[in-house]
């Protein structure tokens, strides 16, 4: 089950976070850009093979990613530009973590590890692109949501993989293989959703 279906349950928590962080004086868009700082720290510690520290900063970055939207709602500053910047930053956050995976000497699994990293990230890109393309080509009236591994699910699995790498790099390799399959399945699921939606128009 994807997280967007359960967002209503976290609305109260989101508003509380928004009230707290709105007092710090940063605008929602500024909070969006702050996300890059813990992400760079997570990247640094990942390359240094300090997996616990990398995972900690990974979590911090993911939390701050929630702050901008919460602050925007509390301050009444929800804008299309803010949503756009948040989407762009989401892509950079995932890219930077994936980039770090290339430098830690992960073991291969049937195919070179770079193959699995590429396939995983290609699926992640296509998951996002399938949504944007469906809207651009006027196949759907609303943005496509759904699929087995949306961004939140992918990042959770990636976080678990980084954490498990503290015990063995092989665990992270296995997680990347799983992500390679799930991300591409999700992209295909969204393409199917777009097809079904277009037939109803």
Q: What fold, for 105-201?
A: 1.20.120
Residues 10-26: what's their mean pLDDT?
72
Summarize pLDDT for 91-150 with one digit per residue, the tens.
999 999 999 999 999 999 999 999 999 999 999 999 988 888 877 777 777 777 778 888
| Domain 1-104 matches domain 105-201 at the CATH topology level | yes
Residues 92 and 52: their CA atoms lie apart, in Å, by 21
Residues 201 and 4: their CA atoms lie apart, in Å, by 24
pLDDT at 10: 56
pLDDT at 85: 87
End-to-end CA distance of the chain: 27
Domain spans of the chain, in order of start: 1-104, 105-201
Tell me the two tokens of residue 131: 């949504």
Is the pLDDT assigned to residue 2 strictly greater than 50? no
Q: Which residue numbers are catalytic?
A: 90
- DSSP at 104: S
Is the pLDDT assigned to residue 5 strictly greater than 50? no
CATH number of 1-104: 1.20.120.1760
């Amino acid at each position: 089950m994807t997280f967007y279906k359960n967002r209503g349950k976290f609305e109260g928590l989101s508003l509380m976070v928004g009230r707290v962080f709105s007092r710090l004086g940063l605008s929602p868009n500024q909070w969006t850009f702050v996300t890059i700082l813990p992400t760079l720290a997570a990247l640094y510690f990942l390359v240094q093979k300090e997996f616990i520290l990398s995972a900690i900063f990974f979590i911090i970055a993911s939390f701050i990613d929630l702050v901008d939207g919460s602050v925007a709602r509390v301050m009444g500053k929800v804008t299309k530009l803010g949503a756009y910047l948040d989407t762009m930053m989401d892509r950079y956050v995932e890219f930077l973590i994936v980039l770090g995976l290339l430098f830690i000497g992960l073991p291969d699994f049937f195919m070179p590890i770079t193959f699995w990293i590429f396939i995983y990230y290609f699926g992640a890109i296509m998951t996002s692109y399938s949504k944007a393309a469906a809207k651009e080509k006027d196949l759907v009236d609303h943005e496509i949501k759904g699929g087995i591994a949306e961004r939140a699910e992918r990042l959770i699995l990636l976080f678990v993989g980084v954490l498990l790498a503290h015990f063995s790099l092989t665990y992270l390799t296995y997680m990347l293989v799983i992500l390679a399959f799930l991300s591409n399945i999700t992209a295909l699921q969204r393409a199917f959703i777009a097809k079904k939606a277009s037939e109803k128009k």
